[in-house]
């Protein structure tokens, strides 16, 4: 597990370093509303995942009472 974490960290650092040192000037315009579109997409994905897994999340949060199977109240 630690080996995989080291491999991931080194790979991520390499990509970041290459991205910083090999960047070229961009001759383009980025609309300020584009970041809002990205934010909306990410929040929609998170909300959708929470809605899809709502029963499992509820089961993790709530506790069910423990009832022994052999005892019956009369």
The domain total for the chain is: 1
CA distance 45 to 49: 6
| Contact between 37 and 44 (Cβ < 8 Å) | no
Confidence of residue 70 (pLDDT cuts 50, 70, 90): low
- Give me the pLDDT at residue 20, please: 87
In a domain, 2, yes or no: no
In a domain, 55, yes or no: yes
In a domain, 47, yes or no: yes
In a domain, 49, yes or no: yes
Helix (H, G, I), strand (E, B) or coil at 39: helix
In a domain, 50, yes or no: yes
Q: Which domain holds residue 56?
A: 37-62
pTM reported for the whole predicted model: 0.43
Tens of pLDDT, residue by residue over 9-58, are 999 999 999 988 888 887 877 787 888 888 999 999 999 999 998 888 88
């Amino acid at each position: 597990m630690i080996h995989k974490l080291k491999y991931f960290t080194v790979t991520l650092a390499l990509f970041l370093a290459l991205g910083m040192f090999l960047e070229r000037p961009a001759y383009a315009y980025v609309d300020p509303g584009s970041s809002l579109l990205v934010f909306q997409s990410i929040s929609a994905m998170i909300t959708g995942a929470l809605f899809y897994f709502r029963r499992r999340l509820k089961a993790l949060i709530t506790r069910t009472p423990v009832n022994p199977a052999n005892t019956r109240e009369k």
